[in-house]
Amino acid sequence: MISFKPVDASYISQLMAIENACHSHPWTEKTMLSCLAGRYFNLAAFQGDDMLGFYIGEQAGPDYTLMDICVAPKHQGQGIAKQLLNAFIEHGEQHQAENLFLEVRESNAPAIGLYESAGFSHMSVRKNYYPTATGNEDAILMGMSFSL
């Protein structure tokens, strides 16, 4: 059975293991630690003591941004990312967010499909935003607005 709970800095090793496994250019531990406090919020998925994945969100005024979402490779394809994304959306609804935003690599078709299926729409493109092994790649900015 999968359970969900917010995590703090005591989970940094598990967060970083998933972060490093999921991204070609992962966050540093310092960045991750800075995103576990203040205007940031998170939720992690667990099976027992094993962290399966997480998301980190940021609140800026009435808007919320999905900063990072990862599922350990051995647990991908099981709907965990969808559950985490839905929890992020629900968090926004519960806190009267006006808009939700995220950025995604243009090459990440599975993530784009997940975000579209959850109701996010393409808003714009940030040229050469993400580093790659051979240069840079565009980011697609996606958003969702709530009716207030």
Average pLDDT, the chain: 94
CATH number of the domain within which 43 lies: 3.40.630.30
Position 147 confidence tier, pLDDT thresholds 50, 70, 90: low
Is 108 annotated as ligand-binding? Answer: yes
Q: Which domain holds residue 109?
A: 3-145
How many domains is the chain built from?
1
- pLDDT in the model for residue 148: 54
Angle at 36 between CA 129 and CA 92, to 5 degrees: 75
Size of the chain, expressed as the number of residues it contains: 148
Per the confidence metrics, is the pTM higher than 0.85?
Answer: yes
* 99, 146 contact by CB (below 8 A): yes
Supply the residues annotated as catalytic.
Answer: 103, 115
For residue range 73-112, list pLDDT tens digits in order.
999 999 999 999 999 999 999 999 999 999 999 999 999 9
Instruction: State the CB neighbour count (10 A cutoff) for residue 143.
Output: 17
Position 146 confidence tier, pLDDT thresholds 50, 70, 90: confident
